[in-house]
Amino acid sequence: MPLAEPVPREAVRQAVVFMRDQLERPVTVAELAGVAGFSPYHFLRVFKRATGHTPHRYLTLLRVAEVKRLLEGGATVTQAAERCGFYSTAHLSAVFLRETGVRPSQWSPRTSDRRSA
pLDDT digits (tens, 9 = 90+) for 64-87: 999 999 999 999 999 999 999 999
pTM score of the predicted model: 0.85
**H or E element in which residue 91 lies:** helix 89-100
pLDDT at site 80: 96
C-alpha pair distances (Å), 53 with each of 6, 48, 89, 115: 17, 5, 25, 16
Give the rounded percent of residues in the chain with a pLDDT score beyond 70: 86
- Span 18-30, mean pLDDT? 96
Binned at pLDDT 50, 70 and 90, residue 92 comes out as: very high
Domains of the chain: 9-56 (1.10.10.60), 59-106 (1.10.10.60)
